[in-house]
A = this chain, B = another copy of it.
Amino acid sequence: MGFNDRFLRACRGEPVDCTPIWLMRQAGRYMSEYREIRAGHHFLEMCKTPELACQVTLQPVDKLGVDAAILFADILLPLEPMGIQISFGKDEGPVIHNPVRRRADVEVLRPIEPDSCGYVNEAVKMVRHELEGRVPLIGFAGAPFTLASYVVEGGGTKLYRVCKTLMHDDPTTWHALMDKLADVIIVYLNAQIAAGAQAIQLFDSWVGNLSPQDYREYVQPHSAKVFAHLDKSVPHIHFANQAGAMIELVKQAGGDVIGLDWRIEIDTAIRRLRGGVAVQGNLDPMVLFCRPEVIREQARDILERVGGRTGHIFNLGHGIHKDTPVTHVQALVQAVHEISAEILGRTQ
């Protein structure tokens, strides 16, 4: 079997034989193979052991038939060499032990080097070798706002109250933090690309909790800085969750591909984005709990809305839920390939 380049072609807006698909959090707890490995190792240990990260990265490629692999890692990893102390509790989400709230907290944060998270680069090399040119490998990082939200709040949050009061009440400190995070993300992602990542995704998972006004003033310049300084030899995907009402601003910040959640119709998004970028998305992850016929119908709806236009990568609108039945995920991958081939045959 030769190299499947559907995903990369779609990122560049080139014609494809059928629509490529990969799934956010495709290497994860919904797979028994993942749970087996996870049972014997702590989450951070898995991230930091290239052999384990590699193994878990490859699992969905073999089992699902997706058109890209995405590196198994965590968005918080590059924060450690900056001097942020993180621990991952059991199912409780990450805790930051020295949250950043004042200018002095920002001052002590260190820049990172390309090999500061060397284990990630090692995992990238190992996955590339193991994939033997079957499908491309996607590297990734959290976007400045999403990382800042953990760093400032001290962990996950529903309200973003500390973040929002910091950005408004002390914008100098906020921008200093975001600037340092942007620098770190640039080094971290360019190192992944140098190690062999064939595309990268910037996850702004929590940015949809901001007003567009706040996004424009306190976030967009920093995300734009990241994209401006990334190695341009590979495609960049910009995923901003819950940001359906401001996708124009997300596009302005950068990215060759705009990742969409499920709260916007993909044809509406394509129209509002006015070309020049590919789109990725946008099935509601909860649809994977429905009957396989429903999954197929819902996949068809999205594909019909795209209507054979180039520049579409199928994905969920957010990560796969841990209780998702694997057979349903497999049914989705098959449906996307079959239905898109049919639509492309009809429109060409």
Interface residues in chain A, defined as those with a beta carbon under 8 Å from any beta carbon in chain B: 159-161, 164-165, 168-169, 208-214, 242-246, 262-265, 268, 282, 284, 286-287, 289-291, 294, 298, 301, 317, 321
Residues of B within 8 A of A294 (CB): 168-169
Given A164-B286, A164-B287, A242 contacting B263 (CB threshold 8 A): yes
Q: In the complex, what residues of B have CB within 8 A of residue A265's CB?
A: 211-213, 245-246
Instruction: Give the chain B neighbours of A159 by CB distance below 8 A.
Output: 286, 321
A290/B211 in contact, CB under 8 A: no
Partner of A165 from the list B161, B242, B286 (CB cut-off 8 Å) is B286
- Flag if B289 contacts A164 (CB, 8 Å): yes
Complex-state Cα separation, A291 to B171, whole angstroms: 12
Number of copies: 2
Which B residues touch A287, using CB under 8 A?
A: 164, 168
Least Cβ distance of A215 to chain B in Å? 9
B169 touches A263 (CB 8 A): no
Task: Please give 14 more A-B residue pairs, beta carbons under 8 A apart, in addition to A165-B286, A212-B263.
Answer: A159-B286, A159-B321, A160-B286, A161-B289, A164-B284, A164-B289, A169-B290, A210-B263, A210-B284, A211-B262, A212-B265, A214-B284, A244-B244, A245-B263
9 closest cross-chain pairs (CB), A and B? A244-B245, A245-B264, A164-B286, A168-B290, A168-B294, A211-B262, A212-B265, A165-B289, A161-B286
Q: How far, in whole Å, are A212 and B305 apart by their CA atoms in the complex?
A: 13
Distance (whole angstroms) from the CB of A258 to the closest CB of chain B:
13
Tell me if B284 and A211 are in contact (CB < 8 A). yes
B291 touches A169 (CB 8 A): yes
**Which residues from B are CB-within-8-Å of A169?**
290-291, 294
What are 7 residue pairs bridging A and B, where the CB atoms are less than 8 Å apart in the complex? A168-B287, A168-B294, A211-B265, A211-B282, A211-B317, A214-B284, A245-B265
Bound Cα distance A251, B242 (Å): 20
Complex interface: chain B residues within 8 A of A242 (CB): 242, 263
Whether A208 contacts B263 by the Cβ 8 Å rule is yes
Assembly CA distance A129 to B211 (angstroms):
39
Q: What chain B residues lie within 8 Å of A289 (beta carbons)?
A: 161, 164-165
A301 and chain B: residue at smallest CB distance:
B213
A268-B284 contact, Cβ under 8 Å, with A168-B291, A169-B290, A211-B262: no
